[in-house]
Amino acid sequence: MTYRFADLTAACHNEWRAYIEHDFVRLLGEGTLEEDAFRHYLKQDYLFLIHFGRAYALATYKSRDITELRHSLDGLKTIIDVELGLHVEYCRQWGISEEELAALPEARATMAYTRYVLDTGNRGDLLDMHVALAPCLVGYAVVADWLNSRPETVRGEANPYEPWIAMYESDEFQAARRAEEAWLDARLAEVTPRRFEELTTVFRDATRLEIDFWQMGLDRSV
């Protein structure tokens, strides 16, 4: 059997849908998410991005050839040199200063997911790490698709979270999602059924931790 990324989401259907259709996402799309909840999420997402960069640094180390090395290094540079700066600017628009971000303690949900990704990468190979990151790398683009499929989603100036939705439905982010899915498809096509079961466990656990990250924002938990 030849496996693809879609087989991972099918194998973890309940967890995947609970993540994509979480109340945090639904309320954000309807424009009714409480602003304090969104600010809490934004702050923790900054810390997540830092560890995301660390994960790509580990992926660079784990790379076995020049193509993988360049791919991982490009991801690391994009996160550190571009995405973090954009996130800091977006936080500033929500009244969150860079100084406040730098002094933040990590919420337990942030620690759980980011350390899981790093531990998975340390224990496994590059494919393990990409599968652990897929709920974020691919999932946010799927979240944007789901929001746009819902008649209840409010678009435009009437929704204070319009820029967030626009970010993840953008051509650039959707292209990155397709590139990541293609990377995963190419490597999943070579795995055995037993290996696919192992990767399914990684994907399911990572998706559960992403669900907890949404819930952390909704509950403002630390």
Q: Which residues are known catalytic residues?
A: 136, 210
Give Dmax over CA atoms of the chain in angstroms.
Answer: 52
How crowded is residue 39: how many other Cβ atoms within 10 Å of its Cβ?
Answer: 16
Q: How far apart are CA 16 and CA 135, in angstroms?
A: 8
- For 73-80, the CB contacts below 8 A with 24+ separation are 79/49, 79/52, 79/53, 80/53
Q: How far apart are CA 205 and CA 179, in angstroms?
A: 23
How crowded is residue 2: how many other Cβ atoms within 10 Å of its Cβ?
Answer: 9
CB burial class (10 A; 0-12, 13-18, 19+) of residue 121? buried
